[in-house]
Chains A and B, each alone.
Chain A
Amino acid sequence: VNALVSWPVAVACARERIRSGPLWALAAMMALAGWTSDPAAAGADLFGWGTLKLFGAISLMLFTLFLGAGLVSDELESGHAQLVLLRPVTRAAWFGGRLAGAGLVLAAAMSLCWLLSIASALRVGAGLQPVRLLALPVGFAFAFAWVATLAALSVVVRGWSNAGWVILGMFGIGMLFATVKATSAIRGAMKQDAGLADLLSQAISTGLPYIGPQDPTRVLVALSTHQPVDLAPLLYDLFWAAAAWLAGVLLLSRRELARRRS
């Protein structure tokens, strides 16, 4: 395990991240989302995009972006990383430590939100659905996959621009999809040949779920309503997190860390 994660690095990273003010504000928003979540529901509204109650999902998304912004690049640019790596710590363990540190902070904030949701359900006396206990691990897999993505990006881009690239990427792909969909619909309505637009629209909607972590919280709804459970999004998120971690380690091991002064 020590080859994967350097725990002293993880603890230092978690300490440094919880000094951020905006992170506390967003954690408070997540806590509020937990306290005000639907006590009778399966808990999919805590961290998922599937329900129309997006307060929890949006707070979690912003928290994740703030947490992952500059996660690696801050250390590389300040020279801290280079100093730590003079010790017998591999680059892989250092990267794993940064990621695990962010994961600890993420787990703490999500646990707070989740515990408050359980407390409020018990207070109302709505009866606790056992499925709600699974909301934390399922939601964590989703959010951690995003943090791992931000960490891997942070190896190659400067400062906090990793968060910018994630936002830009999601926005850009959304805009592209909307444009292609609209073009295809307009051409269809005008009875024009929409061959290419249709094809593009289909290609994008098929590929769209695979270019980032998938929302796995539908699993909770399926479990609580005794419908067939689709584990695919959850497995995809776990794979995505591992792949992003690996990509980050590979990129870091290839990066020139020491600036040569001429």
Chain B
Amino acid sequence: VSAPSGPQREIPIALWAAAGLLLVAYVAWRLLH
């Protein structure tokens, strides 16, 4: 049995975007307060 590959393993861009935006929001809040 071989492990599935290709589209099975795609990482949604929305996850990267959410983590990145929330990090930016946190850092911005800390810098502004």
Contacts and interface: CB of A to CB of B under 8 A. Distances in A.
A222 B8 CA distance: 46
Interface in B1-33: 1-4, 7-12, 14-16, 18-19, 22-23, 25-26, 29-30, 33
A238 B26 CA distance: 9
Contacts of B14: 3-4
Contacts of A3: 10, 12, 14
B21 to A, nearest CB: 8
Interface string A84-100: 01000011100000000
B23 A91 contact: no
Contacts of A230: 33
A20 interface: no
A231 B19 CA distance: 17
A242 B14 CA distance: 10
A212 to B, nearest CB: 15
B1 to A, nearest CB: 4
Secondary structure of the A side of the interface?
helix
A258 B19 contact: no
- Size bracket, chain A contacts: 20 to 34
Given A242-B15, A246-B16, A90 B22 contact: no
Interface in A81-137: 85, 90-92
A232 B33 contact: yes
A51 interface: no
Contact of A250 (B2, B11, B25, B26): B11
A140 to B, nearest CB: 15
Instruction: List 4 A-B pairs, minimum CB-CB distance, nearest first.
Output: A239-B22, A242-B19, A235-B26, A253-B9
